[in-house]
Amino acid sequence: MTGVGIILSILAFSLLIVSHEFGHFIVAKKCGVYVEEFSIGFGPSLISWKGEETRYSIKLIPFGGSCAMLGEDESMADERAFTSKNVFQRMAILFAGPLFNFILAFILSIIVIGAMGVDEPVLSEVMEGYPAQEAGMQAGDRITKLNDENIHVYRDVSLYIALHQGENLDVVYERDGQKYETVIVPKYSEEYQSYMMGIVVNGTRTRLGVLGTLKYSAFEVGYWIRYTFTSLKMLIRGRVGLQDMSGPVGMVSSMTDMVKESSQDGLFYIFINLANICILLSANLGVMNLLPIPALDGGRLLFCLIELVRGKPVDQEKEAAVHTVGILLLFALMFVIMFKDIWQIFG
């Protein structure tokens, strides 16, 4: 099953890249930009064919991809060059990649939630001797807010508590259609090594109708976007480090392990679990590419915003130099993370 798991994992990972690059590709075409090559992977081409004007390629290294546009990194007089388009068209092309990642995450969420339902924030029990019980909360209560942050699924609760360890919680919950509010001071558990309210959710997922599925699919994508930003904050504050980061090799390894563990439950659960991971990774890829980092879509969008403010574009050679430095640093980081992932797998 390991070989099948690796293949499925690479296909799932490739889906994220194809979605991102297809976003650039389709909007570039709509804006009249000449797309020279649309490729999946890096390195030498394994399969390559010429379309009406664009070359399509599948390359040796299955991590990454590209949508190579005419005049992407240099000013050209050709009206079909990327740099010849107005700033709003260029911004639309750049933003389309991350947008399509969010769209993919939303579509996968519809599939997963439609098939499995949602983990509603409804308590199955409260733990004896913990603050939730002392505050009068009961099984069947639905948590709707924690410190003015809306709660839609139970993972919102667990993520919020994990990130606000030891803080007082202003909890709003519903019982029999009535709204209640209480303040809970989480209690530290030596057994679980964390601060806890003392609530239990049995993990049962509730299936929804069409509108409910669409609504909660949007919440699902929003959850993983918040999760990504939260992880970045933790990285900046030093609460997580390089050892907690993972690159393509580590991701494929984790997916392969998941496929192996899910194989005993059948193909359906392999698909659902892979889809769940892809929701997280696709939302993560969308957010990361919007960060104002040179060479990424967000870095290029930043230069477009500067152009809007200045009323004229930044010198193309200077911008290209910044992006070149950025991509070299990103490749260096990816190499370090890849080496760490390989060491963990085989070390």
Return the number of other C-beta atoms located less than 10 Å from residue 277's C-beta: 19
Question: One of 21, 72, 120, 220 is an active-site residue; which one?
Answer: 21
Q: What angle (nearest 5°) sits at the alpha carbon of residue 323, between those of residues 59 and 58?
A: 10
Cβ partners under 8 Å of residue 136, min gap 6: 182
Pairing between strand 142-146 and 35-50?
unpaired
Which of these, 145, 153, 28, lies nearest to 94 by C-alpha position? 28
- With CA atoms as reference, report the closest residue to 28 among 71, 63, 74, 77: 71
Give residue 89's identity as a one-letter amino acid code.
Q
- 278 is written with which tokens? 């892809």
Active-site residue, 220 included = no
What is the C-alpha to C-alpha distance for residues 181 and 223, in angstroms, rounded to an integer?
24
Residues 248 and 244: their CA atoms lie apart, in Å, by: 14
- Per-position DSSP letters for 157-200, written without gaps between them: HHHHHHHSTT--EEEEEEETTEEEEEEE--EEETTTTEEE--EE
Question: Strands 169-175, 142-146: parallel, antiparallel or unpaired by DSSP?
Answer: antiparallel
* Burial category of 242 from C-beta neighbours within 10 Å (exposed 0-12, middle 13-18, buried 19 and up): exposed
Radius of gyration (Cα) for the chain, nearest Å?
A: 23
Cite the active site residues. 21
